[in-house]
Amino acid sequence: MKIHDIPGFPNPLRVRIVLAEKGLFDKVEFVKVDLPAAEHKRPAFLAINPTGTVPVLELDDGTYISESTAITEYLDNLDGHPTLTGTTPLEKATIHMMQKRAESELIDAIGIYFHYATAGLGEGLLPYKSPEWEGRQRWGQMHREKAEAGMRYFNEVLKTQPYVAGENFSMADTTVIGGLLFASYAQIPVPESLTALVAWKARVDGRESVRVASAG
């Protein structure tokens, strides 16, 4: 298998954590995609993922799977013993619910702020992410506020349970981790007053899979 991504970026981090959790990190080949140079928007990459996003999982038979959630589902169920996406109907539903909230209220909101209200990844991506239209800055700022509200929401969640979707580390946690990484890039601090979220991050940062994924 191959993973087309770039190390140190939010969504690639999510899948790299999954690979480490499942003991697959050393069993895949990583193919670096130069995001600042807009390589993911060029025809060669769009041929494997028309949405022009990373990561992309390439299977040995030539099948391509994109979207972090879909890749996680595949990898987690590959051995028949899912640990990150749930085993019972209730676990699966809860994890997917919290996963979706982590995307919409945190990582995606930060992405819109980063690409529309800041310089983003630089000039190479301006034609794709930051068109010069009136209200662009306000649009971005609105999503920063949404992300900050998302942090407050997850802080409340983590006051009552150890992980984002309940008692166990799951796909939803990987997305919040990616979101907070993105927040640091976008210079959106996690307020110290969000003590449950801060404590969760410190605990999860010490997890072996997160250390491996972050270093890789």
| Distance from the Cα of residue 114 to its chain's centroid | 14
What pLDDT is recorded for position 133? 58
Domain boundary pick from 77, 98, 118: 77
Residue 42 in any domain: the answer is yes
pLDDT score of 16: 98
Domain finish residue from 77, 97, 126: 77
Q: Do you know the residue count of the chain?
A: 216
Which range of residues forms the domain containing residue 110? 89-207
Using DSSP, state whether 49 is helix, strand or coil: coil
For residue 188, the model assigns a pLDDT of 97
Assess if residue 62 is contained within a domain: yes
- Out of 25, 49, 77, a domain closes at 77
Same domain, 100 and 56: no
- How many domains, in total, are found in the chain? 2
Q: Token pair 């790299």 is at which residue?
A: 16
- What's the pLDDT at 128? 65
**Residue 47 burial (CB count, 10 A):** 9
Compute the chain's Rg from CA coordinates.
17
CATH number for the domain spanning 73: value is 3.40.30.10
139 and 192 co-located in one domain: yes
H helical segments located in the chain: 10-21, 43-46, 68-77, 89-102, 108-117, 126-129, 136-158, 171-185, 195-205, 208-215
Cα–Cα nearest to 72, from 50, 46, 100: 100
Compute the average pLDDT of residues 40-67: 97
Say if residue 65 is in the same domain as residue 97.
no
84 located within any domain: no
- Per residue in 87-132, pLDDT (tens digit) is 999 999 999 999 999 999 999 999 999 988 887 777 776 666 555 6
76-85 confidence digits (pLDDT tens):
999 999 999 9
pLDDT, tens digit, for every residue of 160-181? 999 999 999 999 999 999 999 9
Distance CA 207, CA 46 (A): 34
Residue 108 half-sphere exposure, CB side, CA atoms within 13 Å?
10
Q: Is residue 216 part of a domain?
A: no
| pLDDT, averaged across the chain | 94
pLDDT score recorded for residue 131: 56
Say how far apart CA 7 and CA 17 lie, in whole Å.
12
**pLDDT at 135 exceeding the cut of 90:** no
Strand pairing of 29-32 and 64-66? unpaired
pTM over 0.75: yes
Name the band, by pLDDT with cuts 50, 70 and 90, for residue 136: confident
